[in-house]
Amino acid sequence: MPASMSRIAVIDFETTGMSPALGDRATEIAIVLLERGEVVDRFQSLMNAGVHIPAFITQLTGISNAMVASAPRAQSVMSEAARFVGDAPMVAHNAAFDRRYWQAELALAGLAAPQAFACTVMLSRRLYPEAPSHKLGALVQRLRLPQTGAAHRAMVDAEMAAALLTQIQHDLRVRHRVAEPDHRFLMRLQACSRAAMPRWLARQAVADALSAEAP
């Protein structure tokens, strides 16, 4: 597989609230670029969207109005982020949240957002149904993955989500004998029901084995 086809961009936003549909905006973005499970590049920036950050958000994230006042304008940051990602597919923990902000902030910058998003929450529920919590920090601790700092800062969360994704791909290869758990495979897996998943993975492993044996 060409390197450009194996790249995945893992993204995390910090925001002023839960939904851009309610007028909330992004305050920070971080992207970790993975290639065959290895980090090959990173992008991070605070962003000034010209909106007020509520006090409870500052308490949660540590990002204040003073910090974003001197940050680059949101449109400039998103233009850089779009160039950084290129055509790489994307992954996020609780991807519905980050996808909404990716699409909304790019739309405000006059840019398209064609990338497909896979979700490590949904994937972890398929692979680790016994986990008492599928929150990012809880999964990182349970799987003994590296913790790079305090949660609720974009790069810290993006790094942890990237580590979780790499573990998920490793477990698919080792435990379920999936030859190439690329982004397209992950999208199919997260759409699979828990009940159907064991048989679906077994069929995939057989297909991969037969493909490897073919002349």
Quote the DSSP letter at residue 48. Answer: B
CATH of the domain at 178: 3.30.420.10
Which residue segment(s) compose the domain that 186 sits in? 3-213
Q: Give the C-alpha separation, 159 to 55, whole Å.
A: 26
Give the chain's domain count.
Answer: 1
- Average pLDDT, consecutive stretches of 10 residues, N- to C-terminus, the chain (215 residues): 72 97 97 95 98 96 96 98 97 98 98 96 96 96 87 91 97 93 95 88 82 68
pLDDT in tens, 59-73: 999 999 999 999 999
pLDDT, position 148: 76
pLDDT in tens, 80-114: 999 999 999 999 999 999 999 999 999 999 999 99
pLDDT, position 1: 47
CA dihedral 142, 145, 146, 152 (to 10 degrees): -60
Look up the pTM and report it: 0.93
Q: Structure tokens of 139?
A: 């999964």
Q: Give the C-alpha separation, 74 to 204, whole Å.
A: 42
3-6 — which CB contacts under 8 Å span 24+ positions?
A: 3/35, 3/36, 4/87, 5/182, 6/35, 6/36, 6/182
pLDDT, position 194: 85
pLDDT, position 76: 98
